[in-house]
Amino acid sequence: MDYLSGISETLSRLVEMTEHDEPYRLKKTLIETIQQIIGELKIDMFEVIYSNGGYIQRNCLEPDQSFAPERRAAIIDACKHHGIQQFAGDLSHGRYAIPIRLDTVTTEVLVVEGGELMVAEREVEAIANISRLYQNYITMLHRYEHDALTGLMNRHSFERQVNVLHQVQAYSYYLAMVDIDHFKRVNDTYGHLFGDDVLILIAKKLKEFFGAAHYRHLFRFGGEEFVVLLEGDDASSYDSLDQFRMLIEETDFPGVGQVTFSAGIAPINPEVPIVVSIDRADQALYEAKRAGRNRVLMSAPVLVEDEAIQEGDLTLF
């Protein structure tokens, strides 16, 4: 009976872990689950971002935390070798780095430290198995949340992200609707394979320009339309997107040549239904198209007293 109770408790913890899909809560629950099942070990989780041929690491739960060189080295070794790494020179067998992969790339690393206590081999194996369960779960989430062609977040993810920003009273965010100019002409002239290549390259440029740390704010909304969530004020949001517009204008798209886009930006006002900001950005996009395309326009402020659009007049999808 005690054996069954132990199995039931373990399964209960694992079920609790898979009840979350918000990244921070999911990572926090993973660490708590391991500590509750294995014992009071010190466990940190590091996000790994590849940039300019190197590795940028940060603590997933405490981004500003600094850490020792030997810990950094163990994390890099785990990324390079895709396997559990013992800290260099650690004769106590008390510190390990366990990689977590998304498809073929290590994206996170668990660092397990026993302190003065030895971490037994069976405990390391158990932690590795739990991390693989987490790995399988985030892989399924990733496929559910991302657009298969471009790798950007998809429309479902956009709906959730903007609702979160709205609920936490985020006043410094802007919503940009981006639409490729004359995209139908690209498909009709060069074929859909070249059209897909245009979408893929623009998505790649979006990720490079805005940075890996902001990838959860980049979306393929559908067809040739993208959405970018920008943090800042009117001027910085406009300047950032217009700089990206100029970058795309100067890019040579293989087999196609020059491609441009038009965009509309609207502020997100937490006191006004989010569909109002979406509509305002879409209206600004329409005006950018009417004004000649290949430009970015900022909408008027979204105000509480604005009665041009009433809640319920619009639907998100």
pLDDT digit string (tens) for 60-73? Answer: 777 666 666 777 77
Q: Answer whether 234's CB lies under 8 Å from 267's CB.
A: yes
pLDDT computed for residue 230 by the predictor: 93
125 in the same domain as 31 = yes
At 246, the amino acid letter reads M
pLDDT one-digit tens code per residue, 137-153: 999 998 999 999 999 99
Distance of CA 301 to CAs 127, 174, 235, 254, Å?
A: 51, 11, 13, 39
Structure tokens at 177: 């609707």
pLDDT computed for residue 17 by the predictor: 84
pLDDT computed for residue 253 by the predictor: 97
pLDDT computed for residue 311 by the predictor: 44
Q: Answer whether 79's CB lies under 8 Å from 57's CB.
A: no
Q: Which of 224, 249, 307, 311 is catalytic?
A: 224
Estimate to the nearest angstrom the gap between the alpha carbon of 54 and the chain centroid: 20
**Reported confidence tier of residue 315, pLDDT bands at 50, 70, 90:** very low
Collapsed DSSP state (helix, strand, coil) of residue 255: coil
Specify if 249 maps to a domain.
Answer: yes
Query: Count of domains in the chain?
Result: 2
Residue 97 has pLDDT above 60, yes or no: yes
* Count of CB atoms situated within 10 Å of the CB of 103: 8
- More reliable by pLDDT, 171 or 181: 181
Q: How far apart are CA 10 and CA 117, in angstroms?
A: 23
From 145, 170, 197, the end of a domain falls on 145
CATH code of the domain containing 128: 3.30.450.40
Residue 317 has pLDDT above 50, yes or no: no
Residue 280 has pLDDT above 80, yes or no: yes
The top-scoring range by mean pLDDT among 46-55, 143-152, 175-184 is 175-184
Specify if 310 maps to a domain.
Answer: no
224 is catalytic: yes
249 in the same domain as 187 = yes
Query: By percentage, how much of the chain surpasses pLDDT 70?
Result: 85
Residue-wise DSSP of 63-90? TT----HHHHHHHHHHHHH-S-EEPTT-
pLDDT computed for residue 1 by the predictor: 47
The whole-chain average pLDDT of the chain stands at: 84
**Reported confidence tier of residue 203, pLDDT bands at 50, 70, 90:** very high
Q: Helices 192-210 and 234-249: crossing angle, nearest 10°?
A: 140
Structure tokens at 234: 């009117």
Q: How far apart are CA 173 and CA 244, in angstroms?
A: 18
* Residue for token pair 């037994």: 120
> Model pTM?
0.76
The top-scoring range by mean pLDDT among 32-46, 100-114, 137-151 is 137-151
Specify if 207 maps to a domain.
Answer: yes
CATH code of the domain containing 253: 3.30.70.270
Specify if 227 maps to a domain.
Answer: yes
Q: Which of 59, 6, 5, 70 is nearest to 28 (CA)?
A: 59
Structure tokens at 64: 């500003």
